[in-house]
Amino acid sequence: MTGIYIHIPFCLKKCDYCGFLSFPGKEEMMDGYVDMLLKELDEYQVKADTVFFGGGTPSLLEPRQVKRILDKINPTGEVTLEANPKTFDKPKLLAFKDAGINRLSIGCQSMEDDLLKTLGRVHTREDFLKAYTIAREVFENINVDLMFALPGQDIQRWEKTLKEVISLSPEHISAYSLQIEEGTRFYQEYKMDRLNVPSDLEERRMHHRAIEILEDAGYSHYEISNFARKGKECQHNLKYWNMEEYIGIGLGASSYFKSERFKNTDDLDKYLSGNLDREVHINSVKDTAGEMVFTALRKREGFTKERFKEVVGQSYDDFFRYILDERKEYIEEGLLVETEERVYLTLDGMDHSNEIMAKFV
Amino acid sequence: MDYQKLIRNFSIIAHIDHGKSTLADRLIEKTGLVAERDMKEQLLDNMDLERERGITIKLQTTRLVYKAKDGQEYIYNLIDTPGHVDFTYEVSRSLAACEGAILVVDSTQGVEAQTLANVYLAINEDLDILPVLNKIDLASSRPDECKEEIEDLIGLDATDAPLVSAKTGQGVDELLERIITDVPAPTGDPEGKLKGLIFDSKYDNYLGVIIYTRLMDGCVKKGDVIKMMATGKQYEVTEVGYCAPNPVPTKELRAGEVGYVCASIKQVKDARVGDTFTLANDPAEKALPGYKKVQSMVYCGIYPAEGEKYESVKDALEKLQVNDAAFNFEPETSQALGYGFRCGFLGLLHMEIIVERLEREFDLAVITTSPSVTYKVVKTDGTEMMLQNPSNLPSPTEISYIMEPMVKACIMIPNEYVGTVMDLCQQRRGSMIKMEYITPTRVELHYDMPLNEVIYDFFDALKSKTRGYGSLEYEFDRYERSSLVKLDIMLNRELVDAFSMIVHESNAYARGRFVCEKLKEVIPMHQFEVPIQAAIGQKIIARETVKAYRKDVLAKCYGGDISRKKKLLEKQKEGKKRMRQFGTVEVPQEAFTAVLKYDEGK
């Protein structure tokens, strides 16, 4: 079964850290955009289980637009919609649910107003609490997105946000570290040393603290940045980490389909005119092997050597013999574990995951 | 001589943007030289670069035929002049070819710095000056005030100055008549011994070097053998003619006329601006006054940027040199940049122009290193070396002392800026020789200054501090012993020789800090921290750090965009590799020029 990612590049206001494809003030284009999404879907004759509406701010869509899309896909599994707390009320959520949405992912980011302001978010703590209450009344599966290592944030403040969110008891919590993306206001500020973000060391401490607190509260740390109650892991995102097929539709959306990776144009006008101008990359065995490893290592359980062979067609040990020395070093350092069946990163290994993953690509 | 009565040789002088080129276009159009539909704007500025920057770099000259109200046909030789301090000498030579100058003043702006600098050059050449007020079609035009300014500041009677609009053509007919009455006809003896002033030369693929000349005495025709009086070299004339503005051959050129001469000359440096040519078998006794050998004042390295071939850069430099007597180059190597060239220029603008022409006309990407002047290094063993590339400076133990070139600088400014400019000159190690009030509001400052202080950004600083009213001229004077040190820049602890510069001990700290700060702004983030250090010898005097990308281990891998993450990982791997291989960081091209730019705040 395939997963479908649907990119919605519309938002109320661009956040100061946001490097994703998203534009404020273009809502009048949404109908035309949805038409294009449907046209793109025509290309594929696939059965989908999971669907994920990401953005941008997908909750800016009107429920009838979501319904048009989902009626066409008719998914059988988890259907997530990302939502900004300022963009919905209860009737709208009910209508989303009616259209087929069964999982809501709310962008909270922080429970402190000054940090929200720093990020350039349009909502406040109060907005989030109200939104969450409504969401709880409608949906049984909710994710709350949080961010840490924010300018001016320390570990105590981060704990406070975490604990408050835990007390609301969402099924799933994502905790991403703030990424400084080129082309954002944060990038320039950071480079010029004017963005007071916690050091890498502090960032790691915040991450470790999050794992401790969330695991204590009964959330399993199943992926570097994701935590879930048992059975509530995000089925759609797991496809990315398991080298399963997925189709991305919409502006700039990426797909991995029939051993090809491709990505739609980033140009909204081009996209709306029906020109997808795709960048296509046919994976070599080396590509696939590298991707298999670095995506799966994001999960706590890593991957089985059996799965590796299934995906790549060669055994893990043979394929990565050429970096045997490096692997051994990581194993000795206690960062990487390789057993007969399985390969995974330790918690310490996750702190160095980019460096280790880079060895495999 | 009768034919001379119908000739007028003149230049147009003006401040930048006061409409010189537009007025020239209008004169050309009105005299019917070029059909209106063929008019490209600013016909005389024929390089793209000139048109874009709105400045004249190379001279253009053109002959117009004007049918006057008195029924006679007059020949107007319009000689265009470049307008920048680097080219002052060229301006003075083209003015020397004229009897008069039209002084264009923007009637909405009044008299400005460049106006004065050029007026004084014209007065030095004994030209008659005809002031003209331009842009009178604009609502903000205030011709009467401008006339007063011209009288007060320059001391010219502007009562009858023609009011024109070069844009609309208004008043241009009157101006054409006034040229007859206000610009004297040339004199000179066509029977005398040949004296031709070379006021410009350029290379043409078909004709070889074309000499632009004003004949002071005598005649020249095809078949004559001419001699360059500065070099003694002889050439047989293959063609003479006038420019309209393309070359039109004629039988001969006579005293008082302006035109061109071709004589199978291969390089422009053999027909130097300011030189006099005469007949080889009947030479004049004395050359015309004012010849100066043009010397490169500023040197920098030019290197092919990544992916660019050494040979293509060499070919392009050779082509530029053929056409530019003041530009020269020779091969050199840099540890950081590989094989390249050390190039000599008149000044920074000249350098920028050459670099831009490489980029535009030849479509080449090049890297330029910090500019330098030529130092004289006296070694402990008593030998001397001339040093143009700071990274070739011998080790301190081998150096007895270093001498640097000093210039006589003449700065003209409105009196309200005297204090500011004196501060600036002092910062740049200048010592004042004298201060003169030319008019009650206009001051000329004479300074003795090290050339290396002038070349970096002095002119920009002067313009900025005087709101564009300051003008600068300088002339090499002598070498003088000085406390100079080599300032090295290290990126990630590796010396990048292309950034090395020689500075005065007293400025080293400030310069070091400035360069580090500038580099921090332009060098992008890497996967690792990049320390930027300035050092004198082993001593670090300034440091900045370009922060590393955050490790982003915990970052979101959005919407299944695996390729993006993969690229990031690959970059992380490569970044390290590149470090090891080249021992350097990625430095954008702009970094090499950014460290030279004047910054008001610093």
How close is the nearest chain B Cα to the Cα of A350, in Å?
8
From first to last of its 361 residues, what are the pLDDT tens digits of chain A?
899 999 999 999 988 888 888 888 888 899 999 999 999 999 888 899 999 999 889 999 999 999 999 999 999 999 999 999 999 999 999 999 999 999 999 999 999 999 999 999 999 999 999 999 999 999 999 999 999 999 999 999 999 999 999 999 999 999 998 888 877 888 888 877 788 888 877 888 899 999 999 999 999 999 999 999 999 999 999 999 999 999 999 999 999 998 899 999 999 999 999 999 998 999 999 999 999 999 999 999 999 999 999 999 999 999 999 999 989 988 988 899 999 999 999 998 888 888 889 889 8
* Cis peptide, bond prior to residue B414, ω within 30 of zero: no
* CA-closest candidate to residue A38, choices A64, A56, A19, A14: A64
B553 contacts in A (CB within 8 Å)? 177, 224, 350-354
How close is the nearest chain B Cα to the Cα of A117, in Å?
21
How close is the nearest chain A Cα to the Cα of B553, in Å?
6
The answer to whether B491 and B468 have CB atoms below 8 angstroms apart is no
- B157 vs B470, more confident: B157
Q: Which residues of B touch A (CB under 8 A)?
A: 520-521, 525, 546-547, 549-566, 568-570, 572-573
**Best to test chain A binding among B543, B558, B574 (most A CBs inside 10 Å):** B558
**Best to test chain A binding among B545, B568, B569, B574 (most A CBs inside 10 Å):** B569
State whether B558 and A357 contact (CB < 8 Å). Answer: no
Of B559, B563, B566, the CB nearest to A5: B559
How close is the nearest chain B Cα to the Cα of A240, in Å?
6
CB atoms within 10 A of CB B500: 22
By the CB < 8 Å criterion, does A177 face chain B?
yes
Q: Is the ipTM of this complex over 0.90?
A: no
The answer to whether B42 and B21 have CB atoms below 8 angstroms apart is yes
State whether B557 and A240 contact (CB < 8 Å). Answer: yes
How close is the nearest chain B Cα to the Cα of A136, in Å?
25
How many residues make up chain B in this entry? 602
d(CA B83, CA B59): 10
* CA-closest candidate to residue A303, choices A213, A223, A209: A223
Quick: pLDDT tens for B325-341: 778 899 998 877 888 99
pLDDT at A257: 92
Of A190, A197, A207, the CB nearest to B554: A207
Query: Nearest-CA residue of chain B relative to A5?
Result: B559
pLDDT higher than threshold 80 for residue B52: no
pLDDT at B375: 93
Strands B328-334 and B338-345, by their bridges, are antiparallel
Mean pLDDT of chain B: 83
pLDDT higher than threshold 90 for residue B437: no
pLDDT at B388: 85
pLDDT higher than threshold 80 for residue B236: yes
CA distances from A287 to A30, A280, B68 (A): 36, 13, 81
Coil/strand/helix, residue B515: helix
Quick: pLDDT tens for A242-288: 999 999 999 999 999 988 999 999 999 999 999 999 989 999 999 99
A200 contacts in B (CB within 8 Å)? 550-551
Which residues are CB-neighbours of B205 under 8 A, at least 6 positions away? Answer: none
State whether A200 and B551 contact (CB < 8 Å). Answer: yes
Q: Where are the beta strands (DSSP E) in chain A?
A: 2-8, 10-11, 23-24, 48-55, 79-83, 103-109, 142-148, 172-177, 220-223, 226-228, 246-249, 254-257, 260-263, 279-282, 303-304, 336-338, 342-345
State whether B555 and A203 contact (CB < 8 Å). Answer: no
How close is the nearest chain A Cα to the Cα of B526, in Å?
11
By the CB < 8 Å criterion, does A227 face chain B?
no
pTM, 2 dp? 0.58
Quick: pLDDT tens for B7-32: 999 998 876 666 777 888 888 888 87
d(CA B588, CA B601): 23
Quick: pLDDT tens for A176-218: 988 888 778 888 888 777 888 888 778 888 999 999 999 999 9
